[in-house]
Structure 1
């Protein structure tokens, strides 16, 4: 079976020697420090923190610099990039950074400097970045990513399916369809899994009482959290904490 290619991101630096290349995936070059002289399919510009570059899949490109430089390089495969967005980016490969895009780049730089980047965070970040670079109304993948980020940031909120649909800008029935297509779960099942992942993390790294964790994760009380964990994992919160610490 052929492996499925997925987006990836890295921090790279370039020197004064040509590194001309052509590959089957698109790239977004987001300078962090210094500047790069880039040529993309015959179009040339110098980019820095105020300008990003988009390299269409299959386009020859080159980047050189005589000064110290660092850039975030985002690789995007065609199956992960909406054709309409790809066409808009390819039509103007050198893009002025909006304040929103600059903030997202600064966030990702901070995450990567701290260590390993979890794949789900990159998946959430990409549609937000694309919307910010193009300066347009958020598209559905970005709206869904923002919902995911909002729930992860505040799982204690009363996240009913109706509230999640309103946050995403779709009907309840459409939200169910989107979730089944995107994550293979209903919105409620995804919410439960997200809350339990949050609880499991805190059980492992803190000594907070289970009742406090239940409150932080949006459960009515400790008993409700215990029932949810038993159903999903066949473990109580206390048993999970003991097991996680014994393995550590």
Structure 2
């Protein structure tokens, strides 16, 4: 059973034996058609229609030779009861324009390799909202935006571009950050970018100037100032300290 959210890319062939599990499941076709049966109800899924399997529901599926789908396993602790109830009543949900964009985004991420858990944690609530509600909740839209930023920290993010992505004013953006994260958009963005830089400095040999651009800093000197303020060290010193600590730990083994 997934502890929170897991994602898989799958294709289906001959009819499967009925199955059930304690986690919920979203079936999001990318191409082809898939017949899904959930507790006696049948629906044909395609790139314009998704399927939802509630926790504990008996289900079976089969598809044509060219089908391919994103399968999202969702632990019960990550699924709002009201949302689950609405999707249970409508297990075969049409994928509107907003939902299709979310699915296409995740398909690109999945094709590029393993999807970071933080990205999934932001993407799933917004997708569930677009399937179950007339309009996604602001907190879900914010979570999806943060997941996108975490996946692409090097883009030219600003409070203005973040607000535009959410379709809200800059003042509303600040209010959402205070409500959900008790911080400001700028502080969250800087903290995340520095966290990614520290991870890359410790684990890679990528030049510092390249890391600065990759993480969204205008130049190496801007990164150096920000990291020194946060840790008291320059990027080179931070990398050196972590390399020395790694060598010391290795020699003790």
Task: Write out per-residue CA displacement over residues 186-233 of structure 1, whole angstroms, 9 at most, x where no aligned residue.
Answer: 7665333212135457876764748x75994379x93x6434313534
Q: Partners in 1 of 2:111 and 2:234 — Cα distance?
A: 35
Q: Partners in 2 of 1:208 and 1:227 — Cα distance?
A: 13
Distance change (3 Å), C-alpha of 1:97 and 1:168 = farther
State whether residues 40 and 59 of structure 1, in contact with CA within 8 Å, keep that contact through their aligned partners in structure 2.
yes
State whether residues 7 and 72 of structure 2, in contact with CA within 8 Å, keep that contact through their aligned partners in structure 1.
yes
TM-score by length of 1: 0.75
Q: Partners in 1 of 2:16 and 2:23 — Cα distance?
A: 20
State whether residues 12 and 63 of structure 2, in contact with CA within 8 Å, keep that contact through their aligned partners in structure 1.
yes
* Equivalent in the alignment of 1:72: 70
* Equivalent in the alignment of 1:35: 33
Distance change (3 Å), C-alpha of 1:102 and 1:213 = closer
* Equivalent in the alignment of 2:126: 128
State which of 224, 227, 236 in structure 2 corresponds to 1:226.
Answer: 224
* Equivalent in the alignment of 2:114: 116
Partner of 1:15, secondary structure, is coil
Distance change (3 Å), C-alpha of 1:156 and 1:100 = closer
* Equivalent in the alignment of 1:176: 178
Q: Partners in 1 of 2:118 and 2:228 — Cα distance?
A: 25
Q: Partners in 2 of 1:86 and 1:12 — Cα distance?
A: 23
Give the superposed CA RMSD.
3.8
Q: Partners in 2 of 1:209 and 1:65 — Cα distance?
A: 49
What are the within-5 Å matches in structure 2 for residues 186-225 of structure 1? Answer: 190-200=188-198, 207=207, 209=209, 213=213, 216-217=216-217, 222=221, 225=223
State which of 52, 58, 61 in structure 2 corresponds to 1:60.
Answer: 58
Q: Partners in 1 of 2:85 and 2:241 — Cα distance?
A: 51
Distance change (3 Å), C-alpha of 1:214 and 1:118 = closer
Query: Any gaps of 5 or more consecutive residues in structure 2?
Result: 247-253
* Equivalent in the alignment of 2:103: 105
